[in-house]
Structure 1
Amino acid sequence: MIKFVVKVVILAAAFYGMAYFHIPKGLSVDPNPNGVLGEFGTYLWIGLIFGVVNAIVGPILRLLSLPFVVLTLGLFLLVINAALLGLTAALTDRLSVDGFLTAVLGGLILAVVGWVADQVLER
């Protein structure tokens, strides 16, 4: 449970970094300064939603698309990460993703950040 909470905080920091530096272009976060935790609460909320979507829907999509992942030597996982980011944007009104390429680049960044977080938390 502690690892999941730390990973949500790391994902929130990743969303903050992507929104702050506008990388990728087209991904934007509308922070709510009047929320419970202020603007940081918005990023935590988006990180939590992405973490839950990635934990529940992610394995199902990866299993169903296994032939495509094998056929493309793993590149189809970028499309799955883009779909997970798009689903997160659909579940919250504070995150918007404009276009497929933006979702792929954002999903790639989140996949790398999530992988680094997993490696750090395993030690």
Structure 2
Amino acid sequence: MKVIVRWLLLAAALLLLTQWNIGISVSTFGSAMWAAFVIGLLNAFVRPLLIVLTLPVTVLTLGLFLFVVNALMFQFAGYLLDDFQVQGFWQALLGSVLYSLWGMVIDVALERLMGPRLPMQPPRA
């Protein structure tokens, strides 16, 4: 249940980003849900690979290159989806930072409202 609520709230955060006129557009809430899903998949599977491949640059820039990796994931989601558009790299950078901040706020709020995640435990006999 917590995952679905988080997904819906992240989609709402994407719609909020479109209202600030920073070069990001989403046509409908359904499109925002797909965009949040694709961004989540990219962050789960592609982002770790990019982090490993760009580790020397990340170390050299004291971790600031991770902002570039996040912006690339955000912009790549815009390329994959027709109804989610990101105008350019700087807009993707700003959008990814704001989206990440909203994600942290959502995570903290859900943690307080729904409690911490419990590890999977086998059923008792």
C-alpha spacing 1:41/1:18, structure 2 compared with 1 (3 Å): same
Identity among equivalent positions (%) equals 40
Partner of 1:5: 4
Q: Tell me the residue number matched to 1:97.
A: 86
User: Residue 119 and residue 73 in structure 1: after superposition, are their counterparts in 2 closer, same or farther (change >3 A)?
Assistant: farther
Counterpart among 29, 33, 50 of residue 44 in structure 1 = 33
Q: Which runs of 5 or more residues in structure 1 are unaligned?
A: 32-39
Aligned residue pairs, count:
112
Give the equivalent residue in structure 2 for 1:63. Answer: 52
Describe how 1:8-87 pairs up with structure 2 within 5 A: 8-22=7-21, 24=22, 26-31=23-28, 40-87=29-76
C-alpha distance in 1 between matches for 2:5 and 2:62: 31
CA–CA distance in 2 between the matches of 1:118 and 1:67? Answer: 30
CA shift digits 1:17-73 (9 cap, x unpaired): 001222x2x111122xxxxxxxx2221111111111111111111122122111111
| Long gaps (5+) in structure 2 | 117-125
TM-score scaled to structure 2, two decimals?
0.78
> 2:120 matched to which residue of 1?
none
Q: TM-score, normalised by structure 1?
A: 0.79
Q: Is 1:50–1:84's contact at 8 Å kept on the other side of the alignment?
A: yes
Gap change, CA 1:115 and 1:45, over 3 Å in 2: same
Which one has the largest radius of gyration? 2
Separation in 1 of the partners of 2:50 and 2:3? 20
